Amino acid sequence: MSVMVYIPTPFRRATGNRDRIEVGAHDVGGLLDELERSFGGLKGLVRNDQGEVHHHVNIYVNSEAIEALQGLRTTLRDGDEVTIIPALAGGTATRW
């Protein structure tokens, strides 16, 4: 199963500045495993030590948030586009 992953600016430092990466995986969890294997720098950026996606990270399959699908078990089909987007949030004393 080959899908295209779109890496937005904030995560590109972990992917050698690549914005599109083709990954073979059956579901979103497997895709993250595969990505982290290829780009060690992504470890900890997308998921915590327990393997849960961080609160401030959103993952989309073809523009649909995975929470509205089957989460990390969301299955992937050939040609799907997956996007990993960190939140932009803030105020006076927190991360942006």
Partner 1 sequence: MVAQSVILTPDELAAIKGQALAEYPNECCGVILVRGSERHLMACRNIQDAKHREDPVAFPRTAGNAFYMDPRDVLTFSRREAEGFRVAVIYHSHPNAGAYFSPTDIEQAAPRGEAHYPDATYLVVSVVGPDVPAAAAYRWNATARTFHRIDDGQLLGPDRDSGPESSRLMAAAERLIPGGVNSPVRAFRGVGGQPFFVARAAGARVWDVDGRSYIDFVGSWGPLILGHAPAPVVRAVNEAAGRGTSYGAPTPQEVEMAEAIAGAFPSMELVRLVSSGTEAAMSAIRVARGATGRDVIVKFDGCYHGHADSLLVKAGSGGATFSIPDSRGVPERLAALTLTVAYNDLDAVSRLFRGRGSEIAAVIVEPVAGNMGVVPPVPGFLAGLRDVCTRHGALLIFDEVITGFRVAYGGAQALYGVRPDLTCLGKIIGGGLPVGAYGGRRDVMAHVAPLGGVYQAGTLSGNPLAVAAGLATLRVLRQGDPYGQLERAGAQLERGLRMAAEKVGIPLTVNRVGSMLTGFFTDGPVMDYASARGADTARYARYFHAMLSRGVYVAPSQFEAAFVSLAHTEADLAAAEAAAADALAALV
State the residues that interact with partner 1 by CB under 8 A. 6, 8-10, 17, 19, 55, 58, 60, 63, 65, 83, 85-96
Instruction: Report the alpha-carbon distance of residue 7 to residue 60 in Å, rounded.
Output: 11
Q: Which is nearer to partner 1, 26 or 44 (CB)?
A: 44
Could you tell me the CA-to-CA distances from 61 to 29, 68, 80 in Å, in that order? 12, 10, 7
Instruction: Report the alpha-carbon distance of residue 81 to residue 60 in Å, rounded.
Output: 8
Instruction: Report the alpha-carbon distance of residue 39 to residue 77 in Å, rounded.
Output: 22
Instruction: Report the alpha-carbon distance of residue 92 to residue 96 in Å, rounded.
Output: 10
Which residue(s) pair with 61 in the sheet?
Answer: 64, 82
Query: Shortest Cβ distance from residue 64 to partner 1 (Å)?
Result: 10
Query: Shortest Cβ distance from residue 24 to partner 1 (Å)?
Result: 22
Q: Which is nearer to partner 1, 26 or 52 (CB)?
A: 52
Query: Shortest Cβ distance from residue 37 to partner 1 (Å)?
Result: 18
Q: Which is nearer to partner 1, 78 or 94 (CB)?
A: 94
Query: Shortest Cβ distance from residue 14 to partner 1 (Å)?
Result: 12
